[in-house]
């Protein structure tokens, strides 16, 4: 039987951002997300409260990679073997925050995705709750993207958003019981749309918004509630224009049918999310 990312209970452990101005971006995350920064060769590590971001010096701004942790060494090894059997090239290196038990693959759009194990390093706790939780990509070929993540990596589809012509415009996929750990929007470009921190409750969203307000960081969207995933949200952006979501109450999916939602801007509910098709 095929072993999947879902079987390994994979969760988004850290991400890497490439930037032309690493020090400024590191300072932004240090303040905005209450992280501790540590200088490394070629960039910075920002961490605290289960939020981990690698900032890498680069000629252009873009996503460096996304890194998923498996629940244990056995699941990591079986997952790697399964990917290789499916013809996916798995390469181990020392560029991520994982230890030697790591490998990366390139997805169908060329996004670099690591799988590894949490090192359980001691890191700074935080006065604001919100572990890193999901990443959302954009793709010019969403059908292909979904096929890769489902058939090759073993994510499960939670929800689909379709336009009037029946074309898939957004897909939410999970690698554990959280509604989505990866989502993807159909777009004119491939790349990063946003990444999200799960604060847990509305109270924490409010605390985060108060914190942003004190730092004079404007919300760019929200607070609101999404349709798919039913999560509360507020968005800011960093100095490079990367969108950051603070989320709460994200649906936990045990087993249910895939939900389908209409892609119609005029069907936004009071909180800003799409209303589910009956």
User: Which residues make up the interface to Fe ion (CB under 5 A)?
Assistant: 196, 245
CB of 14 to Fe ion, least distance (A): 17
Scanning 59-134, the segments in alpha helix (DSSP H) are 73-85
CB of 164 to Fe ion, least distance (A): 24
Nearer to Fe ion by Cβ, of 178 and 245: the residue is 245
CB of 241 to Fe ion, least distance (A): 16
Nearer to Fe ion by Cβ, of 139 and 196: the residue is 196
Nearer to Fe ion by Cβ, of 43 and 222: the residue is 222
CB of 173 to Fe ion, least distance (A): 12
Measure the CA–CA gap between 278 and 261, rounded to whole angstroms: 9
Nearer to Fe ion by Cβ, of 109 and 245: the residue is 245
CB of 245 to Fe ion, least distance (A): 5
In the complex, which residue's CB is closest to Fe ion?
196
Check whether the bond before 180 is cis (ω within 30° of 0): no
The helix (H) or strand (E) run that includes residue 146 is helix 142-147
The backbone region for 198, taken as left when phi is positive above 0, alpha when psi lies in -120 to 50, beta otherwise, is: beta
Measure the CA–CA gap between 16 and 134, rounded to whole angstroms: 13
Strands 36-40 and 259-262: unpaired
Q: Which residue has the tokens 């932004």?
A: 28
**Tokens encoding 51:** 């939020």
Nearer to Fe ion by Cβ, of 32 and 246: the residue is 246
Q: Which residue has the tokens 């969203």?
A: 205
């Amino acid at each position: 039987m095929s072993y999947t990312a879902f079987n390994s209970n994979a969760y988004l452990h850290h991400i890497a951002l490439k930037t032309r101005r690493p020090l400024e971006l590191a300072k932004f995350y240090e303040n905005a997300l209450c992280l501790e920064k540590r200088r490394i060769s070629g960039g910075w590590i920002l961490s605290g409260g289960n939020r981990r971001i690698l900032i890498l010096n680069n000629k252009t701004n873009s996503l460096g990679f996304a890194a998923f942790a498996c629940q244990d060494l056995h699941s990591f090894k079986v997952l790697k073997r399964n990917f290789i059997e499916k013809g996916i090239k798995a390469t181990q290196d020392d560029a991520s925050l994982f230890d030697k038990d790591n490998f990366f693959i390139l997805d169908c759009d060329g996004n670099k995705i690591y799988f590894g194990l949490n090192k359980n390093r001691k890191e700074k706790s935080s006065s604001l709750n919100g572990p890193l939780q999901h990443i959302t990509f954009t793709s010019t070929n969403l059908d292909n993207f979904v096929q890769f993540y489902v058939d090759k990596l073993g994510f499960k589809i939670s929800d689909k958003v379709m336009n009037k012509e029946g074309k898939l415009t957004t897909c939410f996929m999970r690698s554990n019981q959280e509604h989505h750990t990866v989502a993807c929007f159909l777009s004119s470009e491939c790349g990063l749309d946003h990444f999200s921190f799960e604060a847990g409750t509305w109270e924490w969203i409010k605390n985060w918004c108060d914190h942003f307000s004190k730092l004079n960081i404007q919300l760019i969207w929200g607070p609101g509630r999404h349709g798919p995933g039913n999560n509360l949200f507020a968005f800011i952006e960093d100095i490079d224009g990367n969108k950051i979501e603070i989320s709460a109450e994200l649906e936990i999916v045990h087993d249910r049918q895939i939900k389908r939602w209409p892609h119609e801007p005029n069907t936004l509910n009071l909180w800003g999310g799409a209303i589910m098709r009956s």
